[in-house]
């Protein structure tokens, strides 16, 4: 983590996303193009994004696989289709951390965030399921536009993990 984590209260936010079942090995090849697909879908329908692209980790089992949504917040609810679905990022208390660095360093930044919260006695909005740990809301928000900053070591990402009520 580049900066000390903070706890913030977020309102519910509507979003558009495509869900993918991936492994840790193919995550970086499969999910990034989906963000572009979501942005294109929204543009075709005249729906403006209301924030940066994100990955929402719904289910995590590092050995068997992950359920990830590639998405972006929007100003208002909309009607999706079979590919792009609407959703709501839940309101609540989130731990956020700002990271600057190559995307490959996000695993280390995430581990540091998890350790920080454990040391503070914080409890995540996560529960076990047969598929793996099911998160209420665990986000990576990509703050850097790769079209304007090609140096991956300068990319900024915000981690935002929801706490249990």
Write down the pLDDT at residue 78: 93
Q: What is the pLDDT of residues 34-74, one digit of tens each?
A: 999 999 999 999 999 999 999 999 999 999 999 999 999 99
pTM (two decimals): 0.95
Q: Is the pLDDT of residue 1 over 60?
A: no
Q: 159: Cβ–Cβ under 8 A, 6 or more apart, which residues?
A: 1, 95, 96, 97, 99, 106, 109, 110, 113, 139, 140, 141
Domain that includes residue 32, residue range: 6-162
Q: 77: Cβ–Cβ under 8 A, 6 or more apart, which residues?
A: 14, 86, 88
Beta-ladder partners of 18: 70
In a domain, 41, yes or no: yes
In a domain, 1, yes or no: no
In a domain, 34, yes or no: yes
Write down the pLDDT at residue 127: 97
In a domain, 119, yes or no: yes
Number of domains in the chain: 1
> Most distant CA pair in the chain: distance in Å?
46
**CATH number of the domain enclosing 96:** 3.20.80.10
Q: Is 45 helix (H, G, I), strand (E, B) or coil?
A: coil
Q: Is the pLDDT of residue 139 over 60?
A: yes
């Amino acid at each position: 983590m580049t900066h000390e984590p903070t706890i913030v209260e977020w309102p519910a936010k509507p979003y558009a996303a495509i869900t993918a079942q991936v492994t840790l090995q193919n995550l970086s090849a499969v999910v990034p193009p989906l963000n572009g697909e979501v942005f294109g879908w929204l543009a075709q329908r005249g729906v403006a994004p209301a924030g940066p692209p994100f990955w929402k980790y719904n289910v995590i089992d590092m050995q068997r696989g992950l359920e990830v949504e590639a998405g972006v917040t929007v100003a208002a609810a909309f009607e999706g289709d079979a590919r792009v679905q609407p959703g709501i990022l839940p309101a609540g208390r989130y731990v956020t951390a700002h990271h600057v660095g190559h995307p490959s360093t996000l695993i280390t930044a995430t581990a540091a965030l998890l350790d920080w919260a454990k040391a503070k006695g914080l409890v995540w909005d996560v529960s076990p399921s047969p598929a793996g740990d099911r998160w209420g809301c665990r986000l990576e928000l990509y703050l850097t536009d790769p079209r304007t900053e090609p140096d991956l070591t300068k990319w900024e990402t915000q981690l935002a993990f929801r706490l249990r009520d």
